[in-house]
Amino acid sequence: MSMQQKAFKYRIYPTKEQQDFLARQFGAVRFIYNRFLANRKDEHLNNKKSLNYYDDAKILTDLKQQDGYAWLYDINSQTLQSSLRNLEVSYQNFFKKRSKFPRFHSKKNKQCIKIPQHFKVENNKLYIPKLKEGIEIVLHQSLSEKQTCCFISKTASDKYYVSFLCEVDIKPLAKSDKTIGVDLGIKSLLVSSDGEVIENPKFYRKSEKELAYKQKQLSKKGKGSKQKDKQRKVVAKLNEYIANCRKDHLHKISRKLIDENQVIIAESLSVKNMMSNRCLAKSIQDVSWGELLRQLEYKSKWYGRTFHQIEKFFPSSKTCNSCQFVVDKLPLSIREWDCPNCKQHNNRDLN
């Protein structure tokens, strides 16, 4: 067995009072993040000074003692500190060129707070600091006892969830003698080396007209009106439905590949660069290659499988699988071709 970190996500149903409490928590975390982001930008522009997490933590302690900020004592201190750590991570990711410069958080997007300690689940209730009564939780699967932290989130469709990060013992699957190669595409989501073809369900494309209509209705509502907020939730629910369908489908595919094969070989894709093609951007985003490869990678580590990605510029489509002859050109529009050397007829994806 190997000790791995795994997240367990559950739906929670807070009461109206508990929703107000969580709203204050979300607002405080957002306030701290935005204030200290602005503070860092000002320090850099005016004093040419770079602040880090420890500088921010010291300023936060002093801020609580100032007039008008006593309400911060009503918020879990570790939750506020986690907001500063998130800001620090955002800066580090930017400097290492893994992401764009940090942006201010908005209450219109998904809200989330981290609770590192002093939480528990008893009798189908979630207990967190600063809240006396437990929040109703639906435990649809058993929860590991080795919980390291928890995250409470509110989606754009006004649903509440709690995620627990746990350390679990995952038993590797029985060894298999099967090796498989997979080719990812748009027309077919996946073509395996044993001839299996998994079609692309195109969840976004199927709901694109409905989504466009609902977004058009949203644009017609008055700014700040109750009708606009109501329509916003309608759009959010449809987007959430599309995302859930896609995620469920990818989990089923990745688990099937992991269960049946000892070695899985896939191609490395520069999804970010490919998204710059405006003709294919929507389709590439809808098929979600990156998420499928991510799932295959971490699940292979969990269950004792080998997952390998070939180099980005390896000419897998242009190389004949029979005689290894490489053709000079193979446009994307050509799906099947005959090898000039051995005369074998090749299907682009299967080859």
The DSSP annotation for 287-325 comes to: HTHHHHHHHHHHHHHHTT-EEEEE-TT--TTTB-TTT--
Q: Mean pLDDT throughout 305-314? A: 81
Classify 9 in phi/psi space as left (phi over 0), alpha (psi -120 to 50) or beta. beta
Between CA 188 and CA 349 the distance in angstroms is 9
pLDDT at 328 over 90: no
Nearest to 39 by CA among 75, 91, 97: 91
Please report which confidence band the pLDDT of residue 30 belongs to, taking 50, 70 and 90 as the band edges: very high
Q: Indicate the average pLDDT of the chain.
A: 89
**Between 289 and 318, residue with greater pLDDT:** 289
pLDDT at 3 over 90: no
Provide the pLDDT for residue 94: 92
Whether 234 and 214 have beta carbons less than 8 Å apart is answered as yes
**Six-digit token string for 277:** 């093609």
Whether 197 and 235 have beta carbons less than 8 Å apart is answered as no
Three-state secondary structure string covering 16-49: HHHHHHHHHHHHHHHHHHHHHHHHHHHHHHHHCC
- Bridge partners of 199, per DSSP, are 188
Q: Mean pLDDT throughout 304-324? A: 76
Tokens 């489509």, located at residue: 317
pLDDT (tens digit, 9 = 90+) per residue, 135-191? Answer: 999 999 888 878 899 999 999 999 999 999 998 888 888 998 899 989 888 888 998
Percent of the chain, pLDDT > 70? 94
Q: Mean pLDDT throughout 278-305? A: 90
pLDDT at 115 over 90: yes
Between CA 100 and CA 351 the distance in angstroms is 38
Between CA 213 and CA 63 the distance in angstroms is 47
**Between 65 and 108, residue with greater pLDDT:** 65
pLDDT (tens digit, 9 = 90+) per residue, 215-264? Answer: 999 999 998 899 998 999 999 999 999 999 999 999 999 999 999 999 99
Q: CA separation (Å) from 133 to 58, 122, 166, 259?
A: 32, 11, 24, 43
Between CA 21 and CA 19 the distance in angstroms is 5
Residues 6+ apart with CB under 8 A from 9: 161, 162, 163, 164
**Strands laid side by side in the 160-170 sheet:** 111-115, 147-154, 160-170, 2-13, 135-138, 125-127, 120-122
3-state class of 154 per DSSP?
Answer: strand
Q: Mean pLDDT throughout 294-307? A: 92
Lowest mean pLDDT among 15-19, 65-69, 205-209, 313-317: 313-317
pTM of the model: 0.82
Between CA 314 and CA 212 the distance in angstroms is 39
Q: CA separation (Å) from 230 to 154, 184, 217?
A: 16, 39, 11
**Between 351 and 141, residue with greater pLDDT:** 141
Provide the pLDDT for residue 2: 65
Q: How many CB atoms lie within 10 A of CB 17?
A: 10
Task: Tell me which residues are annotated as active site.
Answer: 183, 267, 349
**Six-digit token string for 220:** 């017609």
Whether 285 and 239 have beta carbons less than 8 Å apart is answered as no
**Between 194 and 327, residue with greater pLDDT:** 194
Provide the pLDDT for residue 332: 67
Provide the pLDDT for residue 85: 95
Between CA 323 and CA 336 the distance in angstroms is 16
pLDDT at 341 over 80: no
